[in-house]
Structure 1
Amino acid sequence: MFDILVYLFENYYTPESCPSADVLAKRLAAAGFEHTDIDEALGWLVGLAETTEQCVGLSRSPGRGTRVYAESEQQFLGAEPIGFITFLEATGALSPVLREIVIDRAMATSGSPMTLQKIKIIALMVLWSQEAEVDHLILEELLRDDEYRLLH
């Protein structure tokens, strides 16, 4: 699923430039993605749209505070992804509402534990879906894949 999300980011400048779900599923299948992964990714994107729509009114209200993670969130996400979410919020890349959308979408994925690379992709997709302006250095951090950097 995460490969599909990266593919969408790389191939569609904005969410509006994505074709309908049926056409997108056919294009993804033609690109070589498995049907189960396509279904999971499209379902995840529908969930992203629904969560975003529910939070639209909240996104305009400024809010600051300390986010206390539930035990289930701590166990599923882990310390490194939570630290990265906190970093993104501290830099202003994520508003509190976008932070909650990132957490919601992370919790909606299958497979535990969450990795740093996966949380970066989720945050990138949330920001992409909002067509948010992202500082160049933050964007580089989101796109950096530390797992492969160690091999060089």
Structure 2
Amino acid sequence: MNENVVDILIYLYENYMDGEQAPPADHNDLRDELAQAGFPSGEVEKAFSWLDELADSYQAPAGCSPGDHSLRIYTDEEHTRLDADSRGLLMFLEQNSILTQTARELVIDRALALDTPFITEEELKWIVLLVLMNQPGQEAAFARMEDMVYNEAPVYLH
């Protein structure tokens, strides 16, 4: 997957997931629309797969929940693919109760599922937004994140 998958996810969010317009009932119609918008069919399939895995992840057992004072240590792959700004954004979102520790792990999982050499801070914001949209009970956090995505002003200090 590459940046086109994120572009497709953004396109789908802005056109259908924000609640203003319902997506076509037939997935083939949606695939055709995305093809007409210029997205390669292989990338469209990867984006649909990414969204399916996101939807399935909510139903997966949460497992052991870390304590409030736990420390997240990034693996070498995570450290390489999530730069300091992206990791800082995750920490900021968690410290400001926008992301729970479980949601943070899901964001990291979905970011790494993009299979790109690195994930930019902007891409990570969109991933967080999509993860929060998929989590029941996270409406307030979702609204705060949506403000961050659409407001270009910096939201934290480095």
Q: Same fold (TM over 0.5)?
A: yes
Q: CA RMSD in A?
A: 2.6
Give the deviation of 1:110 after TM superposition. Answer: 2.2
More helix by share: 1
Give the deviation of 1:91 after TM superposition. Answer: 1.0
Measure, in 1, the Cα distance between the counterparts of 2:121 and 2:149. Answer: 10
User: Once the two structures are aligned, what percentage of the paired residues are identical?
Assistant: 34
Pairing 1:2-151 to 2, within 5 Å after superposition = 2-12=6-16, 13=18, 18=23, 19=25, 21-55=27-61, 57=62, 63-64=67-68, 65-130=70-135, 132-134=138-140, 137-144=144-151
Q: Which runs of 4+ in 1 moved over 6 A?
A: none
Q: How many residues align?
A: 142
More relative contact order, 1 or 2 (CA 8 Å, 6+ apart): 1
- Consecutive unaligned residues in structure 1, runs of 5 or more: 147-152
Give the deviation of 1:48 after TM superposition. Answer: 1.1
What's the TM-score once normalised by structure 1's chain length?
0.78
Measure, in 2, the Cα distance between the counterparts of 1:75 and 1:62. Answer: 24
Kindly tell me: are residues 28 and 91 of structure 1, through their superposed partners in 2, closer, same or farther at Cα, counting changes over 3 Å? same
What's the TM-score once normalised by structure 2's chain length?
0.75
Matched residue of 1:134: which SS? helix
